[in-house]
């Protein structure tokens, strides 16, 4: 079934794995959860020999075990969960995995934007049915959040701080009262949340000041801060994991040379270090230099090598993809990258050799083309 989708949700992609975990799960389960908290942690972080399972469960999210445990415990309470962090730190992926493991449905999602309205988190109406038969529960269109309430499952709210204060205020009553009133109806005019309902929201820490959360809404959430991955080994595992998924999805047979992965990781580490020491925004790349953007750079290079190259990933192609992905402002970003290429990549290529000289040349060509 997942082969028929461009991007299958986690509960479809890992359906066989979730079925098996459910069949061997003997732990206590809160509410109507499909898996126990221990099995949910295992599903997300992967199995170990000490777990004593007959089947290996691969790791799907790479981060601190305590963060996952705190997230699971929060959802077992009556509080909402707010995952907050920089772009590309895996907040949405963790939210999807949690919802898939708990409810076997991660698709009840509201996307927070400036255009998100109260209807998007409560309900709206089928206009043609209202005209024909009047307002009733049949002519009502429940939001993903209301659907989650009725089913006693997890609802998700992406980019909460992007939505306006009116939308955030409407969410307060849902989280505190656990019901939604429908004043347009005389009968059957309250939807109560069933046991197991909760909300996982995400927020971008760089959006602070866009639509700050009120203190009342903050009290309804437990905050779990997702840090930027700085450990090179962990970051390499994440990039490799996502890249292997890409290769399988596109049915591409192409090796990822460890030396090129090291160059990619080192380049991002260098650029992050330069950004942290910069004295103004003009001296920083507009990119957040997240792990997700590393994956995007590598994906671009792999696809380019497959369709327009000799089906071998080369340093020159990787350099071109890096420059093309990170040079979003002209001339500011191009100037920063040019400085990095001359001040860091060039000396390193002379000192370390290997793939660095080809990486140097590829970056120079890409910068010259975009300048």
Mean pLDDT by 10 residues, the chain (371 residues): 76 95 94 95 92 89 92 92 88 96 97 90 94 92 96 95 88 91 91 95 75 84 87 82 80 83 92 86 82 89 88 92 90 91 94 93 93 80
5 assigned to some structural domain = no
Question: Within this chain, do residues 199 and 108 fall inside the same structural domain, yes or no?
Answer: yes
Residue ending a domain, among 168, 191, 225, is 225
Q: What local confidence, expressed as pLDDT, does residue 231 receive?
A: 75
SS3 per-residue string spanning the chain: CHHHCCCCCHHHHCHHHHHHHHHHCCCCCCCCCCCCHHHHHHHHHCCCHHHCCCCCCCCCCCCCHHHHHHHHHHHCCCCEEEEEECCCCCHHHHHHHHHHHHHCCCCCEEECCCCCCHHHCCEEECHHHHHHHCCCCCCEEECHHHHHHHHCCEEEEECHHHCCHHHHHHHHHHHHHCEEECCCCCCCCEEECCCCCEEEEEEEHHHCCCCCCCHHHHHCEEEEEECCCCCHHHHHHHHHHHHHHHHHHHCCCCCCCHHHHHHHHHHHHHHHHHHHHCCCHHHCCCCCCCHHHHHHHHHHHHHHHHHHCCCCCCHHHHHHHHHHHHCCCCCHHHHHHHHHHHHHHHHHHHHHCCCHHHHHHHHHHHHHHHC
Question: Within this chain, do residues 182 and 304 fall inside the same structural domain, yes or no?
Answer: no
Q: What local confidence, expressed as pLDDT, does residue 90 receive?
A: 87
State the Cα–Cα distance between residues 265 and 258, nearest whole angstrom. Answer: 11
Residue ending a domain, among 225, 256, 291, is 225
State the Cα–Cα distance between residues 45 and 37, nearest whole angstrom. Answer: 12
Question: Within this chain, do residues 282 and 203 fall inside the same structural domain, yes or no?
Answer: no
Question: Within this chain, do residues 100 and 179 fall inside the same structural domain, yes or no?
Answer: yes
State the Cα–Cα distance between residues 184 and 113, nearest whole angstrom. Answer: 26
Range of the domain at 318: 232-370
State the Cα–Cα distance between residues 54 and 101, nearest whole angstrom. Answer: 19
Q: What are phi and psi of 2, to 5 degrees?
A: -65, -25
Question: Within this chain, do residues 211 and 251 fall inside the same structural domain, yes or no?
Answer: no
pTM reported for the whole predicted model: 0.84
2 assigned to some structural domain = no
**Residue 117 near residue 167, CB atoms below 8 Å:** yes
Question: Within this chain, do residues 15 and 111 fall inside the same structural domain, yes or no?
Answer: yes
Residue ending a domain, among 170, 197, 225, is 225
193 assigned to some structural domain = yes
**Residue 293 near residue 325, CB atoms below 8 Å:** yes
Q: What local confidence, expressed as pLDDT, does residue 262 receive?
A: 92
Query: What CATH number should be reported for the domain holding residue 178?
Result: 3.40.50.300
Question: Within this chain, do residues 188 and 267 fall inside the same structural domain, yes or no?
Answer: no
3 assigned to some structural domain = no
Provide the token pair at 336. 């920063």
Question: Within this chain, do residues 124 and 184 fall inside the same structural domain, yes or no?
Answer: yes
Question: Within this chain, do residues 242 and 214 fall inside the same structural domain, yes or no?
Answer: no
Q: What local confidence, expressed as pLDDT, does residue 368 receive?
A: 93
Q: 133-137 — which CB contacts under 8 Å span 24+ positions?
A: 135/184, 135/185, 136/185, 137/185, 137/188
Question: Within this chain, do residues 216 and 237 fall inside the same structural domain, yes or no?
Answer: no
Question: Within this chain, do residues 123 and 237 fall inside the same structural domain, yes or no?
Answer: no
Question: Within this chain, do residues 137 and 263 fall inside the same structural domain, yes or no?
Answer: no
1 assigned to some structural domain = no
Q: What local confidence, expressed as pLDDT, does residue 7 receive?
A: 83
Q: How many domains does the chain have?
A: 2
């Amino acid at each position: 079934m997942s082969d028929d989708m461009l991007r299958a949700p986690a509960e479809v992609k890992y359906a066989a794995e979730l079925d098996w975990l459910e069949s061997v799960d003997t732990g206590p389960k809160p509410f109507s959860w499909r898996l126990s908290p221990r099995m949910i942690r295992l599903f997300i972080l992967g199995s170990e020999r000490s777990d004593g399972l007959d089947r290996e469960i691969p790791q799907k999210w790479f981060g601190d075990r305590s963060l996952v445990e705190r997230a699971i415990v929060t959802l077992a309470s009556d509080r909402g969960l707010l995952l907050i962090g920089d772009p590309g730190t895996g907040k949405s992926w963790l939210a999807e995995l949690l919802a898939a493991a708990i409810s076997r449905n991660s698709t009840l999602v509201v996307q927070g934007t400036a255009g998100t309205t109260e209807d998007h988190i409560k309900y709206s109406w089928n206009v043609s049915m209202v005209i024909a038969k009047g307002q009733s529960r049949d002519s009502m269109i429940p939001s993903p959040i209301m659907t989650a309430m009725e089913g006693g499952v997890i609802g998700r709210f992406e980019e909460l701080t992007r939505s306006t204060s009116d939308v955030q205020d409407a969410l307060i009553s849902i989280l505190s009262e656990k019901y939604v009133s429908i004043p347009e109806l005389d009968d059957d005019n309250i939807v109560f949340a069933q046991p197991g309902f909760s909300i996982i929201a995400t927020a971008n820490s760089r959006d602070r000041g866009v639509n700050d959360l009120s203190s009342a809404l903050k009290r309804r959430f437990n905050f779990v801060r997702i840090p930027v991955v700085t450990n090179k080994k962990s970051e390499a595992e994440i990039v490799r994991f996502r890249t292997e998924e890409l290769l399988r999805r596109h049915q591409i047979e192409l090796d990822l040379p460890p030396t090129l992965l090291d160059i990619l990781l080192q380049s991002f580490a260098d650029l992050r270090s330069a950004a942290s020491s910069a004295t103004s925004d003009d001296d920083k790349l507009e990119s957040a230099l997240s792990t997700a953007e590393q994956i995007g750079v590598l994906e671009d290079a792999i696809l380019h090598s497959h369709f327009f190259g000799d089906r071998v990933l080369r340093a020159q192609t990787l350099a071109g993809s890096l420059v093309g992905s990170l040079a979003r402002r002209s001339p500011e970003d191009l100037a920063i990258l040019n400085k990095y290429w001359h001040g860091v990549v060039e000396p390193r290529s002379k000192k370390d050799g290997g793939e660095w000289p080809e990486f140097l040349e590829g970056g120079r060509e890409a910068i010259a083309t975009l300048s």
